[in-house]
């Protein structure tokens, strides 16, 4: 999925124009969740508060897409901490990744190999991909959730 997010993976043309149409989800994350107390580094609890706020809206978007038979274009995700399989304080040791992470990879938050329906979603960068037809880019139903 990361290769698609970075627009370096080429799918069959049908991927870029699903017959059922698409639904793009957008929202504005409160600044207090992105920089709690005005600080760059977050606690684990603050990271999960940020991620859970987004998950609640994505869950609604997935439901709306399912009910309307559309494919959901995922929003860009923000993560307060990097994901790594060893203890760390927000960043992988040696990394210069600015926090919070904008355009956090989808697999930082979702287990794409365990029950998630990847054919029912498209990556956040889908509408800026040069392989996505102009007719698709201009015919989307966009929603914003509070």
The structure's pTM equals 0.84
- Give the chain's mean pLDDT: 86
Contacts of 146 (CB under 8 A, 6+ apart): 27
Among residues 3, 51, 58, which one has the least CA distance to residue 27? 58
Arithmetic mean of pLDDT, 79-91: 77
Helices H / strands E in the chain, number of each: 4, 6
CB distance 66 to 20 below 8 Å: no
Does 48 or 112 have the greater pLDDT score? 48
pLDDT digit string, tens, across residues 98-134: 888 888 988 888 877 776 777 889 999 999 999 999 9
Does 81 or 34 have the greater pLDDT score? 34
pLDDT of residue 83: 78
CB distance 42 to 99 below 8 Å: yes
């Amino acid at each position: 999925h990361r290769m698609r997010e970075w627009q370096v993976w080429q799918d069959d043309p049908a991927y870029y124009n699903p017959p059922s149409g698409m639904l793009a989800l957008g929202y504005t994350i409160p600044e207090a969740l992105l920089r709690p107390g005005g600080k760059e580094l977050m606690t684990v609890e603050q990271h999960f508060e940020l991620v859970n706020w987004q998950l609640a809206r994505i869950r609604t978007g997935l439901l709306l897409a399912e009910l309307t038979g559309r494919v959901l274009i995922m929003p860009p995700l923000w993560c307060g901490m990097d994901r790594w399989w060893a203890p760390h304080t927000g960043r992988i040791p040696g990394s210069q990744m600015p926090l919070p992470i904008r355009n956090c990879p989808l697999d930082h938050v979702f287990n794409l190999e365990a029950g998630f329906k990847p054919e029912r979603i498209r990556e956040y960068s889908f509408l800026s991909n040069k392989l996505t037809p102009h007719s698709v880019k201009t015919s989307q139903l966009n929603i914003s959730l509070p």
